[in-house]
Amino acid sequence: MSQHIAIRPLISSNNKILPGYFSANSSSRSVEPDQYARFTTGDNDKGHQRNSRSQHDRSFLASPVTYTLLAVNILIFVAMYVAGHGDVSSVSTLFGDKDNQLIHSGQWWRFITPIFLHGSLLHLGSNSLFLYILGSQMEQIYGSKRYFLVYMTAGIFSFIVSYIYSSVPSLGASGALFGLVGAGMVFPVRFRALVPEQARSQILSQLLFTAVVNLALGAYPGSHIDNGAHMGGLIGGAFTALFLMPEVLEDRPKTVANQSVASLFCAFLLLTSAIAGVNQWKWAHQQEPLPAMVQVGFGLKGQDPWWSLSLPASWKQSKPAVWTIGNGAEFVIEDSASSPAAITQAALLIQKNQKGVSQVSMDGQKGYHLILQGEGKVVDFYLVRAYDRFILFQLVSPSAVYTGSLREYTLVLSTVRFVHAPEKVAPIQSIAPPKP
C-alpha cells in the first residue's frame, strides 16, 4: 500500500526548550570546565569575556546548515504544492516519500528523500519552527559539520526503522528532529562533569518531556504519526552524538587532521543526498500522469458518509461494490455489515497465511495486508478494522497486469478517510480480529 501519511511533527509550546543550555559563546572553540559551567547556569562573572552577540546567535553565519535546511524544505514544499495543484499528498510518492514497496524494488534513496518532504503547511510550519529553535542551538554547540552528521544520520535511521516496522508510507523531518533531541540528551550525560547537576536535570527533563509528549501524540488513534520513525531518529541521533565532540568543548586548535573525518562524512552524505535527489527526479519523470479522481462516500442512504475514498474516473462500476480497472483487473470493497461472509473468509486467509501477513494502518485504523497468487491471478487485499466494522479492500488481477494495476490501486488506498463512527445497523456480525 502506498498510503500517504501526513506526519504530525515535533511541536513545543514553549520556545525556551533548553533554557541556559545553549548559552555558550558560539565563537569560542576552547572552553574550560569552569567557563562551561557559567554558560549552562547563565552565571557570567566580570572576568569572562563575551563577544557582542546575544547569548544565542540566530544569524545565518552562526547557523548556516539550519537555515539551508529550512530553505530546502520550504522550496521542496512549494514545488510539491505546485505539482499537486494544492494537494501535496497526491504527489508525495513522486517526490520520494518512504514507500516500502518501492524501496523493496530497489529505490534505496527513499530512506533519504523523505527527510525533506512535508505533507501539509502545518506539518512544514511546525517542523520548521522546531528546527529553527533547537537546530540553530545544536549547530552552535556541535559545529556545522557535526550537527549535519547528527541530523542526516538520525533522519536516515528513522526511515530505516519505519521501513522495518511499518508498511505505511511516511515523510517528514520529524525523525531527524528527534535525532537532535537524542543528541541533546546525550550531551549533559556524556559531559556530566562540565554540566552542573541542576542544569543537567533541567535539560534532560525538558528534552524527555518533549520526546514523551510527541510519542504519546503518535500513539493516539488517528494521529497519522509514524512513531517508528520518531524512535529511530531519537536512537540514531543519540548514537551518533556518542562519537562526536561538540566544538564548544574541543580544546584542540583546528587542524586539517581533526577536521578531515567530519568533512569526509559530510561530503559523503551530501553526495549521497544529491544522487538520491537525481534518482528520484529521473524516476518521477518516467511515471505516467496521475489519473483524474472521483470521491466516493460510504454510509446509509440519506446519512453523511462515515468514510470515503477517491477512485480514478476511468474505473467503471460493474456491481454495487466492484469496479473494473480496464485491463481485466477488478477493485472490490466489502463491509462486515453487508458482507460478513466475505470478511470472515478474509480473516481466515490471514490466519492461515500468517508468514505473509503485514500489519498496516490506514487513516489511523489498524489492519492487515496479504497478497495471494495462484491460477494466473493475484489477489492483493487489506482487511481494516474501522470502529466496530471490518472493511475489505481487494485488487483481483490477472498476474500479467498486476504490476500495471498496482500504482492506481495504491493511490486509491492512500485516499481512504474515516470521518466518524458508522451508523448503527442491525444485526452486525461480530468478527474476531485476525491474529497473524
In the chain, % of residues over pLDDT 90: 33
Asked if the model's pLDDT at residue 264 lies above 70, the reply is yes
CATH number at residue 263: 1.20.1540.10
The answer to whether 331 touches 412, Cβ cutoff 8 Å, is yes
**Structural domain containing residue 41:** 33-286
- Helix or strand holding residue 367 (H, E): strand 365-374
The answer to whether 249 touches 33, Cβ cutoff 8 Å, is no
- CA terminus-to-terminus distance, the chain: 18
Q: Is residue 425 part of a domain?
A: no
Give residue-wise pLDDT tens across range 67-110: 999 999 999 999 999 888 888 887 888 999 998 888 988 899 99
Q: Is residue 412 part of a domain?
A: yes
Rounded alpha-carbon distances, angstroms, from residue 342 to 33, 54, 333, 358, 362: 70, 67, 10, 20, 20
Q: Give the C-alpha separation, 413 to 383, whole Å.
A: 12
Nearest CA to 94 out of 106, 82, 83, 85 is that of 83
Domain identity same for 66 and 163: yes
Confidence of residue 301 (pLDDT cuts 50, 70, 90): low
Domain identity same for 180 and 276: yes
Q: Is residue 315 part of a domain?
A: yes
Domain identity same for 251 and 325: no
Per the structure, the count of domains in the chain is 2
Question: Final residue of a domain: which of 267, 286, 305?
Answer: 286
317 backbone dihedrals φ, ψ, rounded to 5°? -80, 115
Q: Is residue 127 part of a domain?
A: yes
Domain identity same for 405 and 281: no
Rounded alpha-carbon distances, angstroms, from residue 74 to 12, 89, 270, 298, 420: 20, 15, 18, 36, 33
The answer to whether 336 touches 393, Cβ cutoff 8 Å, is no
Domain identity same for 248 and 326: no
Q: Give the C-alpha separation, 12 to 130, whole Å.
A: 7
For the record, the C-alpha cell of 404 comes out as: 500495471
| pLDDT value for 58 | 64
Q: Is residue 429 part of a domain?
A: no
Q: What angle do CA 110, 113, 117 make, to 5 degrees?
A: 125
Domain identity same for 250 and 373: no
Please state the rounded mean pLDDT for residues 154-159: 94
Asked if the model's pLDDT at residue 111 lies above 70, the reply is yes
Nearest CA to 159 out of 230, 262, 247 is that of 230
Domain identity same for 252 and 324: no
Question: Final residue of a domain: which of 238, 254, 286?
Answer: 286
Could you tell me the strand order of the sheet in which 417-418 lies? 293-298, 307-312, 417-418
Domain identity same for 161 and 114: yes
Question: Final residue of a domain: which of 232, 260, 286?
Answer: 286
Of the candidates 230, 273, 405, 414, the residue annotated as catalytic is 230
The answer to whether 179 touches 155, Cβ cutoff 8 Å, is yes
Domain identity same for 80 and 115: yes
Q: Give the C-alpha separation, 43 to 407, whole Å.
A: 60
Asked if the model's pLDDT at residue 20 lies above 70, the reply is no
Query: Active site includes 420?
Result: no
Instruction: Say how many C-beta atoms besides its own lie within 10 A of residue 398's C-beta.
Output: 13
Q: Give the C-alpha separation, 312 to 31, whole Å.
A: 62
Domain identity same for 154 and 277: yes
The answer to whether 399 touches 377, Cβ cutoff 8 Å, is yes
Q: How far, in whole angstroms, is CA 20 from its chain's centroid? A: 30
Dihedral angle over CA of 164, 169, 173, 177, nearest 10? -40
Please state the rounded mean pLDDT for residues 343-371: 90
The answer to whether 97 touches 170, Cβ cutoff 8 Å, is yes
Q: Is residue 48 part of a domain?
A: yes
In the block, residue with C-alpha cell 481485466:
328
Of the candidates 2, 26, 92, 174, the residue annotated as catalytic is 174
Q: How far, in whole angstroms, is CA 13 from its chain's centroid? A: 21
Q: Which residues pair with 390 in a beta bridge?
A: 385
Q: Give the C-alpha separation, 140 to 247, whole Å.
A: 8
| pLDDT value for 223 | 53
For the record, the C-alpha cell of 59 comes out as: 544569524
**4/425: higher pLDDT:** 425
CATH number at residue 317: 3.40.1000.10
Q: Give the C-alpha separation, 396 to 201, whole Å.
A: 58
Q: Is residue 6 part of a domain?
A: no
Domain identity same for 281 and 329: no
Query: Active site includes 224?
Result: no
Instruction: Say how many C-beta atoms besides its own lie within 10 A of residue 361's C-beta.
Output: 20
Q: Give the C-alpha separation, 276 to 427, whole Å.
A: 53
**42/395: higher pLDDT:** 395
Q: Is residue 365 part of a domain?
A: yes
For the record, the C-alpha cell of 299 comes out as: 454510509
Domain identity same for 76 and 201: yes
| pLDDT value for 148 | 95
